[in-house]
Amino acid sequence: MSRQLLPPNATRLEAALADTLQTHINPSPLRGIADSARCPDALLPWLAWERSVENLSAAATVPQMRALIRSSIEVHRRKGTLAAVRQVFRDLDLGEVRIDEGNNRYLANGDMAADGFCTAGDPDGWAEYRVRIDKMLDVDQAAAARRVLNDIAPARCVLWGLDFTGATLIANGYAQANGKYTAGVITA
């Protein structure tokens, strides 16, 4: 407390207490702690905990952590929607994704699927979905993406798999099924 904050009719005892209890702490270093852009790297897990960010470990770099924390409020607002799933993939630098929802061999837009995603006549297949990614994922990145999907995706849906057969690294032979990479589809 400071003497300047006391009213004009303050007693001498109140003035003496104000002088005695006055602290000389500079609070300016604390201003950036709640901001994901200015928070020190060592405190990012605490900020993520405060914002209820699930699976911060899925972020491989500090900028990815900051992006997850920055968008956490918006993701929680839209949790369980396709928009939340897309946002988390963007935050993890996994690129843009397309999400196909299955319905007895037909996709949500009415096209017929002949790639094994939807099964004909399966009444339980309506809740399956797959995430198609244009970027190549290694096995560890795919596992992290699946953990994130378990927390963000709609609870009524079942992940069929992550499909990145359209990634250019598969087409040019760079990524091969050698333990680090798979052939392009990781089923759940």
Confidence (pLDDT) at 57: 86
pLDDT at residue 121, as a whole number: 47
Query: Mean pLDDT, 10 residues at a time, over the chain (188 residues)?
Result: 81 90 80 90 93 87 93 90 88 84 58 54 66 81 84 82 69 60 66
Query: Do the Cβ atoms of 145 and 58 come closer than 8 Å?
Result: yes
Q: Is the pTM of this model over 0.75?
A: no
Concatenated DSSP letters of 2-37: -GGGS-TT--HHHHHHHHHH------GGGTTTT-TT
Going by their DSSP bridges, the two strands 158-163 and 128-133 should be labelled as: parallel
How high is the pLDDT of residue 29? 77
What integer pLDDT is reported at residue 109 of this predicted model? 61
Domains of the chain, by residue range, sit at 39-187
User: Are 58 and 70 within 8 A, CB to CB?
Assistant: no
Question: What is the structure's pLDDT at 50?
Answer: 93
